[in-house]
Structure 1
């Protein structure tokens, strides 16, 4: 595996493990419960992540296919790509309002969202396998916030976005635990 793809796979794998650990910290009966009327439930956060990652993976698969058909060449660089989104840190920026297209669906369940996350990740990993060894910096698509970015940056966005929501799940877990403690 090319070093650039390997580091992205590692980043995604570590991030997903952290997200799943955060989800596991929430009692199963609370996964669909909102801590307050202005917040999402864990299930809704997961559903949002499914929509973002699945949509991104589909877009990247199409863009990679087009680039390959146009004669995309091999990757000649081995330097890290983990620093390719300077200044973009969703974990420290204020919360954003999700566009309508990626807002959680009514009745989202943690079970279906977790299955959807697994499917989306398999699709994204398939894109990385298909592009392994190719000049993925030349595969671009327009991101609604970041503009025209390459495939490496898209994958970094997905990882950072998931990290932000892993922190959100932990905050939801704490709020739900606090509510439960007050009720006791």
Structure 2
């Protein structure tokens, strides 16, 4: 008998982030360490800075979601009163809330530099952390409001997962433009 595996909504979100991550890592892995620190313009980020930023942003997002989820379950946190983006896909939320060039929150800003290979490994390792969080999250909780995003405001856990995918894809485009400017 033929069995067709149907991914759960959480598995689909995890897979979408994993695919975005692998596409990003494939693009950034083409840089040498020397190329990775070159900037086409003084105020632009190089490949090391973009990859470090992705790490800090995602690590903070996963930690924040996990902490918030436990607070919701314990009855000590509730963000449900504020839902301006209920039911919207992340692309629409970004369109409504972001300016063309946003200022990165300090917590997600690149600040250490160092080897590109380190940041590639660190970013790659976050997929397991995200999957472990996904194993804790229930399908019903995907629509619950997580901690506010610093730019977009209140997002559900599902929208937070969508944001991770969107954010990685956005910066993959940035890194690919760096590739063409070499």
**Fold shared, TM-score > 0.5 on shorter chain:** yes
The match for 1:24 is 29
Q: Using a 3 Å threshold, how does the CA distance of structure 1 residues 167 and 86 change in structure 2: closer, same or farther?
A: closer
Which has a greater percent of strand? Answer: 1
2: CA distance, partners of 1:165 / 1:95: 13
Q: Count how many residue pairs are aligned between Structure 1 and Structure 2.
A: 165
Question: Structure 1 residues 99, 86: closer, same or farther in 2, change over 3 A?
Answer: closer
CA offsets 1:34-59 (integer angstroms, 9 cap, x no match): 22312111011000000100000000
The aligned runs of 1:1-184 (5 Å cut-off) are 3-70=8-75, 84-89=89-94, 94-176=100-182
Structure 2: segments with no counterpart, 5+ residues: 1-5, 76-86
Counterpart-to-counterpart distance in 2, 1:159 and 1:119: 15
Q: Segments of 4+ in structure 1 off by > 3 A?
A: none
How well do the aligned residues superpose, as a CA RMSD in angstroms? 2.5
Structure 1 gap segments, 5+ residues each: 71-81, 177-184
Listed one character per residue, the Cα deviations across residues 98-139 of structure 1 (whole Å, up to 9, x for unaligned) are: 122221114332122112212333222211111144422124
Report the TM-score when normalising by structure 2: 0.79
> Which secondary structure state, in structure 1, belongs to the residue aligned with residue 154 of structure 2?
strand
Give how far 1:86 is off.
4.9
